[in-house]
Amino acid sequence: MHHSDAPLFDDIAQGPAHGRAFWRKTSDGVRIRLAMWPAAEDSAPAGTILLFPGRTEYIEKYGLVAAELVDRGYTTLSIDWRGQGLSDRADKDRLLGHVGHFSEYQLDVAAMMALADELDLPRPFILLGHSMGGCIGLRSLHEGLDVKGACFSAPMWGITIASALRPVAWGISWALHNTPWKLMLTPGTARKTYVDIQPFDDNMLTTDPEMYALMQLQASARPELTLGGPTAGWLYAALRETSDLMKQPAPNVQTVTFLGTQERIVEPGPIHDLMRRWHNGRLQLMPGCEHEVLMEAEPIRSQVYDALDVLTQDSENQDVA
């Protein structure tokens, strides 16, 4: 299959050795990019992390995380969701992040799981979902995703919209979602990617200047990976999906969810509500952290990896569950 390997920008990813990227077609014909970083051959395999990134993100953003996971014996499999990274985008204007319905992302997940089988990646599989990836991941768990445990970082289980706009957000996005205007940018958002516009001071992603600088470097070196604000159609699809997910009982999967106390991008309320109802789930609040716990300083990232280790080890004792 080597001839169909996709590009992987190692220079900006700072990922571990022997990473490979792949092109795959989903069942509805969308070409998506996936990447796998294998665990070091001399380590006892700990399992495979299925990394579900957030909106606007791309595989390379998690190279450093994959490097740290490899040190703990994990293989990492990650994905560019449709509409972002190097995967096919819905519109000629590549900066618009658009899907008509969140079920489309489940077709990307299916292609990812097929690749995990094809590559015979080591088990157990653990889901690691950030932000929008946490929304897609929760839906995947409801649909029977074959994982032993799930770890969420600031999952998008509700969307923060300035309170003045909230009553109209549903109305505007519903009114536009089936019209040519569905590709209109959501009011108050920009066609440029966030780290290009926002200086480090008062950014909503991380308190760690080095990680912010790395994100800015990646965005300037490879602008084709980046994404601007969401479309009205995406917003309607996201509001509908998060609202529906919050009506469901928590899946029966061992879970740890990380949430920074400075969170300003996703809605914290639904995370607290669902984690209270998640009988084998634990919510870990991260004092002073912003939206991206995995883009904070190394001691903070390590807490997430420790949680993955616990999920992996617990799962070994719970195969009967």
Token code pair at residue 293: 């716990």
pLDDT tens across 159-196, in order? 876 544 555 555 555 555 565 555 555 555 555 666 66
What sign does the CA torsion over 316, 318, 320, 321 have?
negative
Mean pLDDT taken over the chain: 85
Token code pair at residue 100: 């008509």
Which residue, 38, 42, 50, is CA-closest to 75?
38
Q: How many beta carbons lie within 10 A of that of residue 88, not counting itself?
A: 16
CB proximity list for 61: less than 8 A, separation 6 or greater: 53, 215, 218
Q: What is the pLDDT of residue 263?
A: 87
pLDDT tens across 58-70, in order? 999 999 999 999 9
Q: Is the pLDDT of residue 2 over 50?
A: no
Token code pair at residue 93: 């204007």
pLDDT tens across 230-257, in order? 777 888 889 899 999 999 999 999 999 9
| Banded pLDDT at 287 (limits 50, 70, 90) | very high
What sign does the CA torsion over 195, 10, 145, 260 have?
negative
User: 227 or 12, which is more confident?
Assistant: 12
d(CA 60, CA 63): 5
Q: What is the pLDDT of residue 50?
A: 98
Rounded average pLDDT over 269-283: 96
pTM above 0.85, yes or no: yes
Q: What is the pLDDT of residue 52?
A: 98
> Bridge-partner residues for 49, per DSSP?
76, 126
Rounded average pLDDT over 252-281: 94
| Banded pLDDT at 216 (limits 50, 70, 90) | confident
pLDDT tens across 83-95, in order? 999 998 876 666 5
> Bridge-partner residues for 35, per DSSP?
21, 78
pLDDT tens across 254-266, in order? 999 999 998 888 8
Which residue, 92, 72, 88, is CA-closest to 80?
88
> What's 180's DSSP letter?
G
Q: What is the pLDDT of residue 95?
A: 58
285 φ/ψ angles, rounded to the nearest 5 degrees: -80, 140
Q: Is the pLDDT of residue 113 over 90?
A: yes
| Banded pLDDT at 212 (limits 50, 70, 90) | confident
CB proximity list for 167: less than 8 A, separation 6 or greater: none
| Banded pLDDT at 3 (limits 50, 70, 90) | very low
Domains of the chain are 2-316 (3.40.50.1820)
The most confident of 41-55, 152-166, 207-221, 244-258, by mean pLDDT: 244-258
Q: What is the pLDDT of residue 185?
A: 52
